Amino acid sequence: MADEHRLSSSLNIVDVEDIDSGEAYRKRIKRAKYIISTVLVLSFIVFVVIAAAAVLNAGIDKIVGTLETINLWYLLAAFAVIFVSYVFRFPKWEQYMKRLNVHIPRTKNFLIYMSMYSMDITPGRWGRAVVSYTINRITGIRFANTFPAVVADIFTDFLGFAFLAVFMAFFVGRFQVLSVIITAILLIPFVFIYTKRLFKFFKRKMHRIRLFKSLFKHGEVYFRYNKLLDRGVYAYSMLYTIPSMFINGFALYLVILSFGISLDPAFIPAVLFIYSSSLMLGLITGLPATMGVTDAALIGYLVLFFPTLITFATASLITIFFRIASVWFVEGFGFAALAHTMKYWNVKSAVER
């Protein structure tokens, strides 16, 4: 406990060398913009392919007729539900900041938290690390000191929809083994991030390689401060993460209802499985295939689980609208928050003032 207290107190001692220069960070942002632009183009192509397949399958007249009958209230409810699910996770972010001894007013901290989701289409969602730079500019606390909070947020989000996929697979009695195998594979990268012995092993083998010197330097700081986020913090996080994933999955149910499909509430567990399992299948492929595989899995599952209610063409339209709500709407409010917090980037950090 004494060691943790000293670590927590030392968070306010900032090494100027660890603060990115404006030019260095601009280069990073430029690369992030390139990745995001690439994914945007790829996702647009995926949407075009899905729409074209739907038209070829059902005909343009039927597609237009289906779109004209959409219940907008259900769609709006889906957007609202998704926004609520992200707001619901904010307390876990506050807990991370508290444990890392980062003190930021709640409103400002909430905007920083929401700005993370502007980077959810970056590889592995690691673009969320942008918030550590924003925190640095506001408080002077080093990037590496708060990066464990970003990792914890990504990891607990993954655990949330992995739990949902596995639990619902057993609940609906289908794809149990597949869900467990995919979850185990996706856990492998986190083993490296959370196992210091592996980090030390690679450091011993590659510490002389110039390319990795900076990585190992920041890695030491990361593991030192990651200790402050103990099992209790992760258990607390899951109290918010798992319900928020249920809420997100429920948005898919609302989108299905918006197409006039009378799907009994008894099928909500199947919808939750479809939502979470399609995400898992997409993640295991990695970018740039992630979005295409996720969308294809979503369409396939909808037709497989509800063959008498949902046709291929309707499943394609449901997928497009759900992805607009669950991806691009999220990116939208994330970028709005990022645009607001970017005003701090041109302000000298606490160390420089």
The answer to whether the beta carbons of residues 112 and 134 sit under 8 Å apart is yes
pLDDT of 53 reads: 76
Please compute the mean of the pLDDT values over residues 46-68 and round it to a whole number. 76
Please compute the mean of the pLDDT values over residues 190-197 and round it to a whole number. 77
Q: Which of 144-148, 225-229, 235-239: highest mean pLDDT?
A: 235-239
Q: Residue 322 falls within a domain, yes or no?
A: yes
pLDDT of 2 reads: 40
Domain count, the chain: 1
pLDDT at 125 over 80: no
Q: Residue 32 falls within a domain, yes or no?
A: no
Give the range of the structural domain holding residue 256, as residue numbers without chain letter.
Answer: 39-189+232-344
Q: Which of 104-118, 138-152, 328-342: highest mean pLDDT?
A: 104-118
Please compute the mean of the pLDDT values over residues 328-333 and round it to a whole number. 89
Q: Residue 199 falls within a domain, yes or no?
A: no
Q: Of 116-130, 164-178, 269-283, where does mean pLDDT reach its minimum?
A: 116-130
pLDDT at 237 over 90: yes
pLDDT of 6 reads: 39
Q: Of 72-86, 128-142, 149-163, 276-290, where does mean pLDDT reach its minimum?
A: 276-290
**Banded pLDDT at 230 (limits 50, 70, 90):** confident
pLDDT at 278 over 70: yes
Please compute the mean of the pLDDT values over residues 83-105 and round it to a whole number. 94
- Distance set, CA 175 to CA 178, 270, 271, 332 (Å): 5, 11, 14, 34
pLDDT at 131 over 80: yes
Residue 119 vs residue 337, higher pLDDT? 337
The token pair that represents 140 in the structure block: 């002077």
- Distance set, CA 67 to CA 72, 269, 316 (Å): 10, 26, 12
Please compute the mean of the pLDDT values over residues 217-238 and round it to a whole number. 80
Q: Residue 213 falls within a domain, yes or no?
A: no
pLDDT of 243 reads: 95
Residue 346 vs residue 5, higher pLDDT? 346
Annotate 62-113 with DSSP letters as a single string.
HHHHHHHT--HHHHHHHHHHHHHHHHHTHHHHHHHHHHTT----HHHHHHHH
> Cis peptide leading into 288, omega within 30 of 0?
yes
pLDDT of 14 reads: 38
d(CA 239, CA 244): 9
Query: Among candidates 115, 137, 103, 107, which has minimal Cα distance to 25?
Result: 137
* pTM score of the predicted model: 0.82
Q: Of 6-10, 139-143, 174-178, 189-193, where does mean pLDDT reach its minimum?
A: 6-10
Q: Residue 20 falls within a domain, yes or no?
A: no
The answer to whether the beta carbons of residues 310 and 318 sit under 8 Å apart is yes
Count Cβ atoms within 10 A of the Cβ of residue 236 and give its class: 0-12 exposed, 13-18 middle, 19 or more buried: middle
Alpha helix ranges (H) inside the chain: 2-10, 22-58, 60-68, 72-88, 90-99, 106-115, 130-139, 143-172, 176-194, 196-206, 210-226, 231-258, 268-285, 289-305, 312-323, 329-341
pLDDT of 265 reads: 93
Q: What is the pLDDT of residues 4-47, one digit of tens each?
A: 343 333 333 334 344 444 555 566 666 666 666 676 676 677 76
pLDDT of 136 reads: 86
Q: Residue 314 falls within a domain, yes or no?
A: yes
Q: Residue 215 falls within a domain, yes or no?
A: no
pLDDT of 26 reads: 60
pLDDT of 7 reads: 38
pLDDT at 327 over 70: yes
Q: Of 16-20, 194-198, 210-214, where does mean pLDDT reach its minimum?
A: 16-20
pLDDT of 84 reads: 96
